Chains A and B, each alone.
With several copies, the nearest count.
Chain A
Amino acid sequence: MNQFNRLDSYKEMVRIRQYESRILQEYHADKQPAWDIGAGLIPGEMHLAAGQEPAAVGVCAHLKKGDAITAPHRPHHFALAHGVDMKAMTAEIYGRDSGLCRGKGGHMHLFDPENHFSCSGIIAQGYPVACGQAFAFKRRSTDNVAVAVAGEGAANQGAFHEALNLAALWSLPVIFVIEDNDWAISVPKSHSTATASNADRAAGYGIPGVRVENNDVEAIFEAAGAAVDRARAGEGPSLIEIHTLRLWGHFEGDAQAYRGAELETVDERDPIPRYAKSLVDLGELTEDQIVTIAAAADAEVDAAIQFAVSSPEPKPQDALLHVFA
Chain B
Amino acid sequence: MTVTDTETAARRITTAKAMAEGIGLEMRRDPDVFVMGEDVGAYGGIFGSTTDLFGEFGADRVIDTPISETGFIGAGIGAAVEGMRPVVELMFVDFYGVCMDQIDNNMAKIHYFSGGNVKVPMVLMTAAGGGYSDAGQHSQTLWGTFAHLPGMKVVVPSNPYDAKGLMISAIRDDNPVLYIFHKGVLGLGWMTNNPRATGHVPEDPYTVPIGKAAIAREGTDVTVATISLSVHRALDAADELEKEGISIEVLDLRSLVPLDREAILDSVRKTHRLLVVDEDYQSFGMTGEVITTAVEGAFDYLDAPPARIAIPDVPIPYSRVLEQFVLPDADKIVAGVKSLLTA
Contact = CB atoms under 8 A, between A and B. Distances in A.
B191 A38 contact: yes
A44 B313 CA distance: 22
Contacts of B67: 123-124, 153-154, 156-157, 184, 192
B66 A192 contact: yes
A131 B106 contact: no
B305 interface: no
A67 B81 CA distance: 13
Interface string A180-196: 00001111000111000
Nearest to A150: B67
Contacts of A257: 42
Given A103-B319, A122-B98, A187-B66, A127 B133 contact: no
A146 B78 contact: yes
A121 B101 contact: no
B135 A121 contact: yes
Contacts of A322: 111-112, 114-116
B342 interface: no
Given A104-B317, A158-B98, A320-B314, A125 B111 contact: no
A43 B135 CA distance: 10
A77 B312 CA distance: 35
A159 B98 contact: yes
Given A122-B105, A131-B75, A154-B67, A186 B174 contact: no
B78 A131 contact: yes
A123 B317 CA distance: 19
A287 B105 CA distance: 48
Interface string B89-118: 000001101100110011000111111111
A116 B67 CA distance: 27
A291 interface: no
Contacts of A191: 64, 66
Q: B74, B101, B151, B325: which has the most chain A beta carbons within 10 Å?
A: B74
B229 interface: no
A116 B41 CA distance: 30
B30 interface: no
A60 B117 CA distance: 23
Contacts of B333: none
Interface in A99-114: 99-109, 111, 113
Contact of A44 (B95, B135, B312): B135
B84 interface: yes
A321 B319 CA distance: 14
Interface in A13-52: 34-39, 43-45
Interface string A117-145: 01011111101111111111101000000
B71 interface: yes
A159 B131 CA distance: 29
A122 B110 CA distance: 13
Contacts, number: 288
B326 interface: yes
B115 to A, nearest CB: 3
B73 A128 contact: yes
Interface string A145-180: 010000001101111001101100100000000000
Interface residues of B, number: 78
B193 interface: yes
A37 B139 CA distance: 13
Interface residues of A, number: 81
A102 B259 CA distance: 27
Contacts of B313: 323
A154 B70 CA distance: 13
Interface in B174-191: 174-175, 189-191
Q: A35, A123, A132, A133: which has the most chain B beta carbons within 10 Å?
A: A132
A321 B312 CA distance: 11
Contact of B322 (A104, A125, A159): A104
B81 A133 contact: yes
Contact of B116 (A39, A102, A120): A102
Nearest to B131: A38
A323 B66 contact: no
Contacts of A44: 132-135, 318
A184 B38 CA distance: 9
B78 A135 contact: yes
A125 B215 CA distance: 41
B319 A122 contact: no
Contacts of A121: 94, 135, 137-138
A83 interface: no
Contact of B134 (A45, A129, A193, A321): A45
Given A38-B191, A120-B106, A319-B325, A132 B41 contact: no
A68 B82 CA distance: 10
Q: B67, B78, B174: which has the most chain A beta carbons within 10 Å?
A: B78
Contacts of A136: 78-79, 82-84
Q: A100, A134, A139: which has the most chain B beta carbons within 10 Å?
A: A139
A165 B66 CA distance: 9
A166 B68 contact: yes
Interface in B317-343: 317-326
Nearest to A35: B190
List 3 A-B pairs, minimum CB-CB distance, nearest first. A132-B78, A128-B74, A38-B132
Given A103-B318, A128-B71, A166-B71, 11 more contacts: A100-B114, A104-B112, A111-B110, A111-B114, A125-B102, A128-B78, A133-B81, A133-B82, A146-B78, A157-B68, A325-B119
30 contacts: A34-B193, A37-B191, A95-B318, A95-B320, A100-B114, A101-B117, A103-B322, A105-B114, A105-B135, A105-B318, A109-B136, A111-B117, A118-B118, A120-B137, A121-B137, A122-B94, A125-B105, A125-B106, A136-B79, A159-B101, A162-B69, A162-B72, A165-B71, A187-B41, A191-B66, A314-B319, A314-B322, A316-B325, A318-B322, A323-B112
Interface of A: 34-39, 43-45, 68, 70, 95-96, 99-109, 111, 113, 116, 118, 120-125, 127-137, 139, 146, 153-154, 156-159, 162-163, 165-166, 169, 184-187, 191-193, 253, 257-258, 313-325
